[in-house]
């Protein structure tokens, strides 16, 4: 397949996705760059030519595969779509999330957990997905890990009732608290993108490996990346350890605290500039 065809399909899927979410997403730093499948096309062509030539004992002409005509409008459409903004509200978006059945997690959830917090937050906190307590209450980070998260946030002057919004990569609980599968993360991610688009947080705190990996669209070792800053469409992003990891391993609390202090300094800088 040619790069332009891939771009066209990608753009089409994004447009459908954006329509369903009610907004047009900004250009994402991790968007794929498509290339032609030159090698694959050649191999396939050669294999078919060989098969036909052999079956006809060389008496019939060899079948050749002609390149098809490709559209060149994909990138232009993508850029045009990205420049639009349909202005959906957070309530409207979360109402869509509550009705969502895009992935298999819809079959096992008790409640959808769109998110919780103020509409114009300084900080967006992103977790991985709801656990048992969150699933039962329909609210993010309300179990033991949630209590610890609230304490961590309070230690640096943050609170979900005044200056934070808390959301997850997936909005429905993965059974047995397993990690959300890649297809579940992919199905749900546009909701988080839309939330970021609407909330416009000054800074983002990612709790754990899955949150930062999905947001940045790359493999990231949390043991090395915690406390470092990444960039998501101009918004500083810091990963730190998930509160559940801190509950399992006390030794992680000290580095997590150092991360939070660094995060607070950066937030203060942003607010004073
Ligand atoms: Fe929809 Fe996300 Fe729930 Fe899957 S996890 S059903 S994509 S809201």
Amino acid 22: pLDDT: 61
* CA nearest ligand 1 atom 2, residue: 188
Tell me, using a 6 A CB cutoff, whether residue 102 lines ligand 1: yes
pLDDT computed for residue 13 by the predictor? 72
Mean pLDDT across the chain: 82
Contact 112, 98 (CB under 8 A): yes
pLDDT at 25: 58
The pick from 112, 134, 190 for probing ligand 1's pocket by mutation, whose C-beta has the most ligand atoms within 8 angstroms, reads 112
pLDDT on residue 9: 77
Query: What integer pLDDT is reported at residue 138 of this predicted model?
Result: 98
Mutation probe of ligand 1 site: the residue of 130, 135, 184, 194 with most atoms within 8 A of C-beta: 184
Q: How far is the CA of 257 from the centre of ligand 1 (A)?
A: 32
Ligand 1, residues 20, 94, 170: which to mutate, most atoms within 8 A of Cβ? 170
Q: What is the pLDDT of residues 31-53, one digit of tens each?
A: 666 766 655 443 443 333 333 33
pLDDT of residue 5: 72
Query: Which ranges in the chain belong to alpha helices (H)?
Result: 3-21, 38-55, 74-82, 90-99, 105-108, 132-137, 144-155, 182-199, 209-216, 222-225, 243-248, 253-272
Stretch 174-182: mean pLDDT, rounded? 96
Q: Is the CB of 158 under 6 A from ligand 1?
A: no
Q: Which atom of ligand 1 is nearest to the CA of 114?
A: 8
Q: Does 203 sit in the ligand 1 pocket, CB within 6 Å? A: no
170 lines ligand 1 (CB under 6 A): yes
Longest dimension (CA), the chain: 82
Residue 246: pLDDT band with limits 50, 70, 90: very high
CA torsion 93-95-96-102 (nearest 10°) is: 130
Lowest mean pLDDT among 15-19, 141-145, 216-220, 252-256: 15-19
Name the pLDDT band for 26 (thresholds 50, 70, 90).
low
For the chain, give the percent of residues with pLDDT over 70.
73
Q: How confident is the model at residue 233 (pLDDT cuts 50, 70, 90)?
A: very high
226 lines ligand 1 (CB under 6 A): no
């Amino acid at each position: 397949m040619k790069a332009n065809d891939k771009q066209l399909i990608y753009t089409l899927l994004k447009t459908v996705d954006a329509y369903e979410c009610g907004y047009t997403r900004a250009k994402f730093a991790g968007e794929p760059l498509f290339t032609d499948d030159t090698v694959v096309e050649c191999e396939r062509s050669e294999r078919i030519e060989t098969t036909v030539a052999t079956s006809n004992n060389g008496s019939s002409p060899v079948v050749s595969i002609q390149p098809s005509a490709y559209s060149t409008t994909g990138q232009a459409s993508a850029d045009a779509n990205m420049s639009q903004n349909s202005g959906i509200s957070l309530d409207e978006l979360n109402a869509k999330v509550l009705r969502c059945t895009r992935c298999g997690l819809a079959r096992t959830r008790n409640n959808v957990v769109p998110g919780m917090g103020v509409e114009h937050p300084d900080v967006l906190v992103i977790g991985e997905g709801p656990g048992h307590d969150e699933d039962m209450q329909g609210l993010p980070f309300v179990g033991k890990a949630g209590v610890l998260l609230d304490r961590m946030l309070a230690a640096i002057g943050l609170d979900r009732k005044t200056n934070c919004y808390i959301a997850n990569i997936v909005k429905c609980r993965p059974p047995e608290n397993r990690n959300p599968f890649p297809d579940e993360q992919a199905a749900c991610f546009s909701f988080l993108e839309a939330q970021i688009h609407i909330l416009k947080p000054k800074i983002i705190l990612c709790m754990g490996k899955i949150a930062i990996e999905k947001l940045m669209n790359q493999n990231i070792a949390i043991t090395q990346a915690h406390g470092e800053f990444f960039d998501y469409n101009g918004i500083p992003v810091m990963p730190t350890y998930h509160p559940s990891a801190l509950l399992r391993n006390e030794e992680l609390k000290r580095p997590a605290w150092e991360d939070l202090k660094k995060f607070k300094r950066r937030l203060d800088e942003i607010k004073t500039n």
